[in-house]
């Protein structure tokens, strides 16, 4: 009987300690976000990864630690829209080479958390194949983009809502809070509810802007190569 009571006491103590840890974690440690530093040829960018998208977060951290992003180009840049990188073949690309097809041999299930997470300026999101070949909207393993976008007025957002309606059969609506953000700060609302946003820029907005407005060719590749020199997971 004493042995049973001792075992029960130990189990109960362990459960209490675990509950305390979970409670503490929920308020502090679990809310902490991993950060990755991107040293680019235009300057330093730091992105923070969302815990709400754990598969994308962990994948991005893994690739950064493996050096997958070291030396790759920002291969697709569209002014007032976004900058895209992660083409694994771009590291040794020659001038004029058509880029955008290089990737790893897997995809990630979508983790779309709209409207809590949306395409605000500075959003970090996963690239993917189009809906006609990828109806599940699975994400590219390596390719990603950072939003620059533009500031909208109400009429402009109404036009964006019309585009969203066509692409989502009317299932995604711009909420008042999201609309207000786009009016005040900008972004790319027409992508909401369709791509996984898994982080945001917390340092280096000026660098993102520099890259977003470089001169590009007819394929949206910067005429002068802009690269990620090194990606590092910050402590």
Q: What is the pLDDT of residue 28?
A: 39
Q: What is the pLDDT of residue 5?
A: 46
Q: What is the pLDDT of residue 3?
A: 53
Q: Does 105 have pLDDT greater than 80?
A: yes
Strands 139-140, 107-108: parallel, antiparallel or unpaired by DSSP? antiparallel
Strands 35-40, 144-147: parallel, antiparallel or unpaired by DSSP? unpaired
Q: What is the mean pLDDT of residues 54-67?
A: 98
Residue extents of the structural domains in the chain? 35-147+195-234
Q: What is the mean pLDDT of residues 70-83?
A: 98
pTM for this structure? 0.87
In CATH terms, is domain 35-147+195-234 a member of 3.90.45.10? Answer: no
Q: What is the pLDDT of residue 24?
A: 35
- Which residue in 35, 125, 79, 53 sits closest to 222, CA to CA? 79
Dihedral of alpha carbons 101, 135, 188, 47, sign: negative
- Which residue in 73, 70, 84, 94 sits closest to 226, CA to CA? 73
What confidence tier does 61 reach under pLDDT thresholds 50, 70, 90?
A: very high
- Residue 2's alpha-carbon distances to 6, 10, 14, 16, in angstroms, are 6, 12, 18, 21
Quick check: 121 and 149 in contact, CB under 8 A?
yes
What confidence tier does 40 reach under pLDDT thresholds 50, 70, 90?
A: very high
Beta bridge partners of 228: 40
CA 210 to chain centre: 19
Dihedral of alpha carbons 164, 99, 124, 56, sign: positive
How does pLDDT run across 7-19, given as a tens digit for each residue?
445 444 444 444 4
Q: Does 147 have pLDDT greater than 80?
A: yes
Q: Does 151 have pLDDT greater than 60?
A: yes
Q: Does 26 have pLDDT greater than 90?
A: no
Q: Does 27 have pLDDT greater than 50?
A: no
Share of the chain above pLDDT 90, in %: 87
What confidence tier does 125 reach under pLDDT thresholds 50, 70, 90?
A: very high
Q: What is the pLDDT of residue 31?
A: 81
């Amino acid at each position: 009987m004493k042995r049973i009571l001792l075992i029960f006491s130990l189990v109960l103590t362990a459960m209490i300690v675990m509950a305390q840890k979970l409670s503490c974690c929920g308020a502090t440690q679990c809310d902490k976000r991993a950060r990755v530093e991107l040293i680019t040829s235009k300057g330093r960018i730091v992105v923070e990864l969302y815990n709400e998208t754990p598969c994308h977060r962990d994948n991005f951290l893994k690739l950064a630690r493996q050096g997958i992003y070291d030396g790759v180009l920002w291969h697709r840049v569209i002014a007032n829209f976004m900058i895209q990188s992660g083409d694994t073949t771009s590291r040794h690309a020659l001038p004029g080479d058509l880029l955008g097809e290089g990737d790893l041999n897997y995809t990630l299930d979508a983790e779309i958390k709209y409207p809590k997470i949306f395409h605000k300026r500075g959003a970090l999101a996963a690239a993917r194949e189009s809906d006609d070949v990828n109806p599940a909207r699975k994400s590219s393993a390596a390719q990603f983009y950072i939003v620059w976008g533009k500031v909208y007025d109400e009429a402009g957002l109404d036009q964006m809502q019309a585009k969203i309606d066509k692409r989502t059969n009317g299932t995604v609506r711009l909420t008042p809070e999201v609309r207000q953000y786009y009016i005040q700060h900008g972004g790319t609302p027409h992508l909401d509810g369709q791509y996984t946003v898994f982080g945001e820029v917390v340092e280096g907005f000026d660098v993102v802007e520099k890259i977003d407005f470089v001169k590009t060719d007819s394929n949206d590749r910067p005429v002068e190569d802009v690269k990620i020199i090194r990606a590092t997971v910050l402590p």
